[in-house]
Amino acid sequence: MNSSWRRIERFIESRDRTLIGWSEICESGLAPRAAVMDWLGSTVEAGTAGHDVVMSPTNSCYLDYWQSTNHAIEPPAFGADVSLAKVYSFEPVPANLAAQFQLHIVGAQGNLWTEHVPSLKDAQYMAFPRLCAIAEVAWSRKSSRGYDDFTRRLQTQFQRFDQLGVSYMSRGLAR
């Protein structure tokens, strides 16, 4: 870690705060108390070294990526296809992270980078219902999750979205 990062680290810690950065902060040596927003796959390395990690992999948590293979029906997007089913299948705690380090997985985050999203309506469409899937995956035990039950319960959420005027992707889901 270079001297400017050390200076920033000292400043942040002097205010009883924690330095947190995207995966790239692992490349220059992590500060002892730094946390990682992992999008590149450095979770096991960071967690094993005792650093807290917020999971945000591109293949499961990037909501600015396409939701389906039918790009003609979607707002402008970026990257690969990240369907609702793919988001729901995301497991925040990597299987190859030893049990004693799993407590360092402190959450998950869905990212919706909006440089390609032209409107709030399009941003809502990109986020929902995938954001619901991220919330359930992040906040529930794997043993209590089931995709069929989740999609059944989404029907009630769709009614709420309709009442609120929220734009959302519902194609391919029973309504």
Residue at 129 is within a domain: yes
Q: Is residue 76 part of a domain?
A: yes
pLDDT mean over 88-98: 95
> Is the predicted pLDDT of residue 102 greater than 60, yes or no?
yes
pLDDT at 30: 82
Tally of structural domains, the chain: 1
Within a domain: 63: yes
Whether 1 shows a pLDDT value over 70: the answer reads: no
Q: Do the domain assignments include residue 83? A: yes
What pLDDT was estimated at residue 175? 34
Residue 104 lies in a domain: yes
Indicate whether 171 belongs to any domain.
no
Residue 174 is predicted with a pLDDT of 38
Across 126-159, b (16+ Cβ under 10 Å) vs e yields bbbbbbbbbebbbeeeeeeeeeeebbeebeeebe
174 part of a folded domain: no
User: Is the CB of residue 36 less than 8 Å from the CB of residue 46?
Assistant: yes
Mean pLDDT of 15-41: 89
The residue with greater pLDDT, 154 or 26, is: 154
> Is position 173 within any domain?
no
Per-residue pLDDT, 72: 87
Q: What is the mean pLDDT of the chain?
A: 91
Q: Determine the Cα–Cα distance for residues 169 and 129; give it in Å rounded to an integer.
A: 7
The per-residue pLDDT for 3 is: 65
Domain range enclosing 57: 3-164
The confidence score (pLDDT) of residue 39 equals: 95
* Domain of residue 12, CATH code: 3.20.20.80
Torsion angle, CA of 152/155/160/162, rounded to 10 degrees?
160
d(CA 62, CA 18): 24
